[in-house]
Amino acid sequence: MESILRDIVQRYIKESGSVVSILQDTQDRFGYIPHEAISYFSNELNIPESRFFGVATFYSQFYLKPRGKNIITACCGTACHVRGVDKTVSAVKRALELRPDEDTTDDNQFTLEKVACLGFCSIAPVVLVNGEVFGKAAAEKIVRKINSIRKSEDEE
Amino acid sequence: MKNSIVIRVCMGPAGIAAGGRAVLDEFRKTLTDKKIPAEISNRCTHHQVGCMGLCARDVLVDVIIKGHKTSYEFVKPDMVRKIVDQHIIGGEPVKQWLADGHMHKFLEKQVKVVLSDCGVIDPEDIEAYISRGGYSSCEKIFGNFSPEELIHEIKLSGLRGRGGAGFPTGLKWELARKSEGNTKYIICNADEGDPGAFMDRAVIEGNPHSVIEGMITGAYATGAQKGYVYIRAEYPLAVERIKQAITQAREKNYLGKNIFGSSFNFDIEIKLGAGAFVCGEETALIASIEGQRGMPRAKPPFPVHKGLWGKPTVINNAETLANIPHIIRNGAAWFSGLGTEDSKGTKVFALTGKIKNSGLIEVPMGITLREIIHDIGGGLEPGKHLKAVQTGGPSGGCIPAEMLDIKVDYESLAKAGCIVGSGGMIVLDNDDCMVNIAKYFLNFTQSESCGKCVPCRIGTKRMLEMLERITNGLGQPGDIEKLEQLSADIKSGSLCGLGQTAPNPVLSTIKYFRDEYEAHIFDKKCPAGVCNSLLTFTIIEDRCKGCQACAKACPSKAITGEKKKPHAIDQSLCIKCGACFEVCKFRSVEKA
């Protein structure tokens, strides 16, 4: 881990406005921002940890906890809202057996996240499954995809 | 003519989602097939293009033979062979798949300036852009225009910022030019955070070089040596294309040192947004590039005087910048000939929601909303009635169906309590509840408020709670007046545009749809049938097949019944979650 973090620091050591970029690179590598990474950056760059946490908690893109292996992203932009993405979200929640306040399954296989707008408004509602775009995403389509991921993982 | 046959495949966001890549691959495969006469396959080029506009009918494919264009819609890979055999080789278009009827109506009233090359050229090829006159405006300014003359030209054109506020672009450049200091910056704002808007995305994906050309021009006018493109990380394809375009421009020496044979140096760097709506605000955007929490600060000093790292900084929206090359190429008089007295030029809108031809459109300012909805948009689905059109996203408002003849320009929309905004245009029909829509936007602004100003941070929260109560059937007399009062306080007590406009969706829905609020509060009814708490769910016995799907889905075990026999809902146990309604495949659950 340390060698990865060292690389990231080296890349940005000369720039003063790099806290956001450092965190973006860290998240790219680990899928979330481990506390150890923040401690490391804080020591190396002599920037208080609080600044890293301040930035990390301000922007919705950053996660301080590990996320599921498969990411389901539901677009909750206006067009998706009026085209009924809520129904798809509740169906996905049922399929993943998530409690109302949960976003990751107990086995860490799936995370369901909501974003404001992905810019696919003309084919609303839109859901991404591991980056693959599902337009006019009726609940059954996404649930079927989830089941097929589960099945292929069981076989492995 | 060497390549007298051109095939274009739409690879805008919707085109890709509908399988555009597979269609393009299939064309490539089919055309290199041995059975195609070499003479035809040699003459034939095929390439991807950015958004063609009519996203609702993707994948769109244009086949152009000797300048004559034919458009196909809903193209799937297995249709490619027939298009090649019958049309490209045989010369006979495949009639049943043609999009021309829709395309014609869709395009008839549009005027394409910013989007003129979008959906025509390969966005990943700088030569394609150059062959359509790209970068000629830069060639023209370096050597012929002084920065002051250039600013004068932009002022004459009447161009105003397309990001929302509508500030005159020429004036902004002039202020930055006159600002003292040797180091200056220009920033392209592509942090398109409005939910329901994707204009900047389409422009950058479809024609990234036009934005770069606009930035070079702005840099020359203001004296900036360094530019930033601040773009949302949620748009991976747009990020990829602008990166690629910058690299290509550097290779041509359009960016770098002594560009266009002048003594002027200018280069561009990309900064990725990290998911904060408020970063569309200028001072918050600057804070974000500086690596801080994206919180706005008080103005003045304005960024043109004291911006990034304390230096004079111009921030222009991506669509604004994409207009610049056209103004330089065709002259200010041409541009100001489009649009109305105070709103010049065209505007790109993302037309979405309950409309047939949803997609990306560009119209002259001053066109009526009726023309957009009925002519370009093709109207609503049969049996649905237009209720309102929401413009300007979370900062905007709703225009009711009765006002369909309103002109779409900065002044007319402002008079109606709406804004042009960044260009989201969402069509709502009789199935949409206006209180729910207001709640949706408040939920958005409340969670995106940066928290600096108390009225915005706490006020939006209180408004949201009130709207939640109303939609849950717990509204009380006086709630509407309270919402209005709180709205006024939030507007006057917030520092930046987010707080100052956050109450707008509520105010405009109260203004035009007060009766819907009253129905929720006094009659405990949701006229559109959206707010579950105000509905009663019942099972229609005749239609129920007894499949037990609803009983399984019901979290409160309110549904009982034997297999293959009609089920029933115990109203005393029902928590009105709507799960039964969603799972029933036989439409036997009724809500009223």
Q: Is the model's pLDDT at B1 over the cut of 60?
A: no
Sign of the alpha-carbon torsion through B33, B36, B41, B44: negative
What distance in Å separates residue A131's CA from the closest CA in chain B? 10
User: In order of start, what are the domains of chain B with their CATH numbers?
Assistant: 5-106 (3.40.30.10), 126-336 (3.40.50.11540), 346-429 (3.10.20.600), 434-521 (1.20.1440.230), 536-591 (3.30.70.20)
ipTM over 0.85: yes
Indicate yes or no: CB of A121 within 8 angstroms of CB of B193.
Answer: no
Task: List C-alpha distances in Å: A143 to A77, A90, A91, B490.
Answer: 21, 11, 8, 42
How much is the pLDDT for A17? Answer: 65
What distance in Å separates residue B141's CA from the closest CA in chain A? 33
Indicate yes or no: CB of B274 within 8 angstroms of CB of A60.
Answer: yes
**Mutation target among B582, B583, B584, B589 for the A interface, most CBs of A within 10 A:** B582
**Closest residue of A to B554, CA-based?**
A94
Give the Cα separation of B565 and B569 in Å (integer). Answer: 13
Average pLDDT over residues B215-234: 96
Q: Which residues of B touch A115 (CB under 8 A)?
A: 234, 275
pLDDT tens-digit series, residues B117-174: 998 999 999 999 999 999 999 999 998 999 999 999 999 999 999 987 889 999 999 9
What distance in Å separates residue A124's CA from the closest CA in chain B? 8
Indicate yes or no: CB of A60 within 8 angstroms of CB of B424.
Answer: no
Residue of B440, B390, B436, B426 lying closest to B532 (CA atoms) = B436
**Mutation target among A121, A123, A126, A132 for the B interface, most CBs of B within 10 A:** A121
Query: Which burial class, exposed, middle or buried, applies to A14 when counting CB atoms under 10 A from its CB (0-12, 13-18, 19+)?
Result: exposed
pLDDT tens-digit series, residues B324-334: 999 999 999 99
Nearest beta carbon to residue A122 from set B55, B233, B289? B55
**Closest residue of A to B553, CA-based?**
A94
Contact residues for B542 (Cβ-Cβ < 8 A; gap 6+): B566, B588
Q: Is the model's pLDDT at B540 over the cut of 90?
A: yes
Which contacts qualify for A105-111: CB closer than 8 Å, 24 or more apart?
Answer: A105/A68, A108/A66, A108/A68, A108/A69, A109/A68, A109/A69, A109/A70, A109/A150, A109/A153, A110/A68, A110/A69, A110/A70, A110/A71, A110/A72, A110/A146, A111/A67, A111/A68, A111/A70, A111/A71, A111/A72
Residue of B191, B155, B218 lying closest to B274 (CA atoms) = B191
Q: Is the model's pLDDT at A44 over the cut of 60?
A: yes
Model confidence at B592, pLDDT cuts 50, 70, 90, reads confident
A interface toward B at CB cutoff 8 Å? 16-21, 23-24, 54-55, 58-62, 76-79, 81-83, 87, 90-91, 94, 115-124, 126, 133-135, 139
Q: Output the DSSP codes for B83-138.
A: IIIIIIIT----GGGB-HHHHHHHHHT---STTSSTTTS-TT-HHHHHHTTTTHHH
Indicate yes or no: CB of A77 within 8 angstroms of CB of B195.
Answer: yes
Structure tokens at B176: 């930055």
User: In order of start, what are the domains of chain A with their CATH numbers?
Assistant: 2-58 (no CATH), 70-155 (3.40.30.10)
pLDDT tens-digit series, residues B359-416: 899 999 999 999 999 999 999 999 999 999 999 989 999 999 999 999 999 999 999 9
Q: Which residues of A touch B428 (CB under 8 A)?
A: 82
How many residue contacts between A and B have a Cβ separation below 8 Å?
139
Q: Which residues of B touch A77 (CB under 8 A)?
A: 195-196
Indicate yes or no: CB of B17 within 8 angstroms of CB of A94.
Answer: no
Cβ-contact B371, B109 below 8 angstroms: yes
Please identify which residue in the block is written with the tokens 């040699």. B42
Which has more pLDDT, A86 or B329? B329
How much is the pLDDT for A9? Answer: 86
Contact residues for B188 (Cβ-Cβ < 8 A; gap 6+): B211, B214, B215, B227, B228, B229, B230, B231, B316, B317, B318, B321
Task: List C-alpha distances in Å: B477 to B470, B508, B515.
Answer: 10, 19, 13
Give the Cα separation of B319 and B203 in Å (integer). Answer: 7
**Closest residue of B to A132, CA-based?**
B17
Average pLDDT over residues B87-97: 91
Q: Residue B491, SS3?
A: helix
Give the Cα separation of B425 and B149 in Å (integer). Answer: 36
**Closest residue of A to B196, CA-based?**
A78
Contact residues for B184 (Cβ-Cβ < 8 A; gap 6+): B176, B222, B223, B224, B225, B311, B312, B313, B314
**Residues B577, B583, B585, CA angle at the centre, nearest 5°?**
140
Strands of the sheet with B386-391, listed across from one edge: B359-364, B346-353, B424-429, B386-391, B397-400
Give the Cα separation of B56 and A109 in Å (integer). Answer: 33
Give the number of other Cβ atoms within 10 Å of residue B100's Cβ: 14
Composition of chain B by helix, strand, coil, percent to 5:
45, 15, 40
